[in-house]
Each structure stands twice: as structure tokens, then as C-alpha cells.
A and B are shown apart, each in its own frame.
Chain A
Amino acid sequence: GAGVSQSPSNKVTEKGKDVELRCDPISGHTALYWYRQRLGQGLEFLIYFQGNSAPDKSGLPSDRFSAERTGESVSTLTIQRTQQEDSAVYLCASSHYRAGITGELFFGEGSRLTVL
């Protein structure tokens, strides 16, 4: 596709349920970021994938959060046993990392998660 695609665009779930969010980065982009943005707040880093390197998971807020990426393609962010404080927009961004520079960032439209 032409841009970063995220699904679902909206997800309403009950507290305690698991959710899975998907990100399709731009083809050829080796770097992929997940961010969380709560209402009226800035971006909160969650996890970073770069090529075949071990992902940087330092931003994941708890062990209920996990993410995977298959090679340099699709990534999924999984939140287990969701809590109300998990309600936010989850944003994915990709870029063509080369020569030690991240490159222009391309963001998806986000997945809005509401935990009741």
C-alpha cells in the first residue's frame, strides 16, 4: 500500500479482554515504532523494531503488553487483560532506516482503543 495501514481503526472492548492491533508498514521500511497517545497528551513510546535486531521493548508499560513483527513486514501489538487506563490511540510509524538515520517518519491513522 501507499502508506502505513493500521487495523482496526476503532476497538471497544470490555475490561479484562485481550486485544490485538495490527500495523502494515510501508514496504521496504525497516524501522517500525509503536506509540500510545492518550487524549490530549503527547506520544508515548512503546516499542521499536529495526530490521533483524532485537526489538527495543523499553517503553512497554507492563507485561500485559507485547508486540511482534514478522521480518520487515506486519507488526501486531497485543494487550492482554485490558484495563481502562489502556484506552488511547495506538499509533504505528515506519521509516526507511539507513546509514544510522531513521529517515522520514510515516504514521498510520491509529487504532483507537476504548476499554469499558
Chain B
Amino acid sequence: KNEVEQSPQNLTAQEGEFITINCSYSVGISALHWLQQHPGGGIVSLFMLSSGKKKHGRLIATINIQEKHSSLHITASHPRDSAVYICAVERDSNYQLIWGAGTKLIIKP
């Protein structure tokens, strides 16, 4: 079993829909990262969090340390949100980052 599991692997939705991407992990962590990669594009950090909730524009990230689970939400989704969203956790025992496989999101107009 992978130490970081993302779901769903693929998600297609209509413009305007509320999107949720999930990340579950099985190791102790000091922080969790959400990143975005557009097709053929670079990787951009969206959030780094170790507790609670963070919001940036239409993006919201939450983490439940006890449940070892994080969610990334997109409100009022738009076609430009189409990208791969990647969760990565940082082990609390060392610097190592463990990467999820990514969720490919397609928002149709």
C-alpha cells in the first residue's frame, strides 16, 4: 500500500461545480503540500499546511492530523483549473517528501 494515496485519480466536472480532491497518508508528518501541474507546464505550490485550513482565492485546503487526511477544494471551478493536483507529505522523522500519484482534473465549459 502506498504511503500517500490520492483520490480520485481522474475527475471530470462541469464549469461551476465544487471540486474535492482527497489525500490520505499513513506516516507521521510535519507538513503536507498541495501542488498543481498544468499540461506541459511547471509545478506550482498551492498550499503547505500542518494543521487546520488554508484558503487562497477559490482554493481551500484542509488537513485532519488525527485522521491522516487532507482535502483540496475548488469552488466555482473553471476550465483553467484543469490540471494535475499533487499531494506530498513531509515525514516528521526527516526531510523526505512522499508524493501522491496525482489527480487529473478536467473542467468542461
Question: Which residues does A use to contact B, with CB under 8 Å?
Answer: 31, 33, 42-43, 45, 48, 50, 56, 91, 93, 97, 100-110
The interface residues of chain A, by DSSP majority, are classed as strand
The interface residues of chain B, by DSSP majority, are classed as strand
* Complex contacts, A107 vs chain B, CB 8 Å: 35, 42-45
Question: Which residues does B use to contact A, with CB under 8 Å?
Answer: 30-31, 33, 35, 42-45, 48, 50, 86, 88, 90, 92, 95, 97, 99, 101-102
Q: Is the beta-carbon distance between A42 and B30 smaller than 8 angstroms?
A: no
Q: Is the beta-carbon distance between B95 and A108 smaller than 8 angstroms?
A: no
Q: Is the beta-carbon distance between B43 and A103 smaller than 8 angstroms?
A: no
**Cα of A93 to Cα of B37 in the assembled complex, Å:** 14
Q: Is the beta-carbon distance between B31 and A102 smaller than 8 angstroms?
A: yes
Identify which of A31, A97, A105 contacts B45 (C-beta below 8 A). A105
* Complex contacts, B102 vs chain A, CB 8 Å: 42
* Complex contacts, B101 vs chain A, CB 8 Å: 42
In the complex, what residue of chain A is closest to B92 when comparing beta carbons? A100
In the complex, what residue of chain B is closest to A109 when comparing beta carbons? B42
In the complex, what residue of chain B is closest to A91 when comparing beta carbons? B43
* Complex contacts, B43 vs chain A, CB 8 Å: 91, 93, 105, 107
**Cα of A99 to Cα of B31 in the assembled complex, Å:** 12
Q: Is the beta-carbon distance between B97 and A106 smaller than 8 angstroms?
A: no
Identify which of B33, B35, B44, B95 contacts A97 (C-beta below 8 A). B95
Q: Is the beta-carbon distance between A42 and B99 smaller than 8 angstroms?
A: yes
* Complex contacts, A104 vs chain B, CB 8 Å: 33, 45, 48
Q: Is the beta-carbon distance between A102 and B45 smaller than 8 angstroms?
A: no
From known contacts A101-B31, A102-B31, A107-B43, infer whether A45 and B97 are also in contact, taking CB-CB under 8 Å: yes
* Complex contacts, B44 vs chain A, CB 8 Å: 107
Q: What are the 9 A-B residue pairs with the smallest beta carbon separation, nearest first? A: A107-B43, A109-B42, A104-B48, A105-B45, A104-B45, A102-B90, A101-B30, A43-B99, A101-B31
From known contacts A31-B95, A42-B101, A97-B95, infer whether A103 and B48 are also in contact, taking CB-CB under 8 Å: yes
**Cα of A33 to Cα of B30 in the assembled complex, Å:** 18
* Complex contacts, B97 vs chain A, CB 8 Å: 33, 45, 102
